[in-house]
Amino acid sequence: MTKPWSRFAAPASFYPLTGRLIPVFWVLAAAFILIALYWGFFETPDQLGGSNAQKGYYRIIFIHVGAAWMSMWLYAMLVAWAAVGLVFKTRLSFMMANAIAPTGAIFTFLALWTGAIWGRPSWGTYWDWDPRLTSELILFFLYIGYIALHSAIDDNRRADRAASLLAIVGLVMVPVIFWSINCPDPNQCAALHQRSGLRKVDGNILFAMLTMTLGFWMYSFATTLMRVRSMILTREAETAWVQDLVRAPERG
C-alpha cells in the first residue's frame, strides 16, 4: 500500500479528512440550492414564447429533474464503490457504497413524488405508467432491496459483500429492465415524456436546474460522508485511534 491515494483508504486517515470536507460541502450545498431557488422563482420567464403564459407548476421541474438525475448517478456511484470494494477488498469502499444508498433512495422517492405532482396538472393524473416514471419506481425497489439485504445480515463482512454483489447484478439488469419498460412492444417504443434535449430549454430555467443539481450533489457528498463517519466509528470502536479521538475533548 504505497500508492498515494491509498493513504486515505484507511479509515483512520479518512475520518479527519472528512471532518474538514463536510462543512465545505454543507456550505456549497446551501449556497447552490439557495441560488437555484432564487433563480427558479424570480428570474425565470413568465412567458412561454409570445403570449403563451407559462404554467406555474413548471417550477417543480427544478427539483424533479435534479432528483431524478441524482437517483441514477448515485446508483452508479454505489455500484462503482461496491465493485471497487469487491475487487480491492477495501473496507472503506463498502462503507461508501452503503452510505450512498439511503441518500439515493431519498432522491428516487423525491423524483417519484415530484413527478406525480407534475403529472396531475400536465397529464391529468397523479400516476401514469410512463416509462421513465416506472423506471424510477423500479430503481426505488432496487435501492430498497440493497438496503434491506444489507440490514438483514448481521455479519458486516458478509453484508457488505452480499449487498455489493446484488448492486452489481442490479446494474447489469437495469438497462434490460428499462428497455423492456420502454418498449413493451419490441417493434416500437413509446414514451409519454417529451424527448427533449437540454439545448431547447430556456437559459434561465437551465441555469436554475443545473445549479439545483449541483446543490444536490454537494448535499449528497455531505450526507454520504457523514454516514461513513458514523459507520467508521461503530465498526472501528475497538481500535486505538477511535478511542483517542473519543478521549479528546474536541471532536475532530
Contact 41, 59 (CB under 8 A): yes
Contact 167, 82 (CB under 8 A): yes
C-beta of 27 vs 169, nearer to another protein: 169
Alpha helices in the chain (DSSP H): 11-38, 61-88, 91-123, 131-152, 156-182, 203-235, 240-247
Min CB(197)–another protein separation in Å:
24
Min CB(109)–another protein separation in Å:
7
Query: Can you spell out the DSSP letters for 123-185?
Result: HSSS----HHHHHHHHHHHHHHHHHHHHHH--SHHHHHHHHHHHHHHHHHHHHHHHHHHH-SB
C-beta of 7 vs 141, nearer to another protein: 141
C-beta of 7 vs 191, nearer to another protein: 191
Min CB(13)–another protein separation in Å:
19
Which triple of cell numbers denotes residue 137? Answer: 419506481
Q: Residue 205: name the closest of 97, 92, 84, 64 by CA.
A: 64
Contact 104, 75 (CB under 8 A): yes
**Which spans of this chain sit near another protein (rule: CB under 8 A)?**
41, 53-57, 59-60, 63-64, 67, 102-103, 106, 109-110, 113-114, 117-118, 120-121, 138, 141-142, 144-145, 148-149, 152-153, 157-158, 161-162, 165-166, 168-170, 172-173, 176-177, 179-181, 184-187, 219, 223, 226-227, 229-230, 233-234, 237, 242-243, 246-247, 251
Min CB(75)–another protein separation in Å:
13
C-beta of 49 vs 197, nearer to another protein: 49
C-beta of 50 vs 56, nearer to another protein: 56
C-beta of 92 vs 111, nearer to another protein: 111
Min CB(18)–another protein separation in Å:
11
Q: How many CB atoms lie within 10 A of CB 122?
A: 13
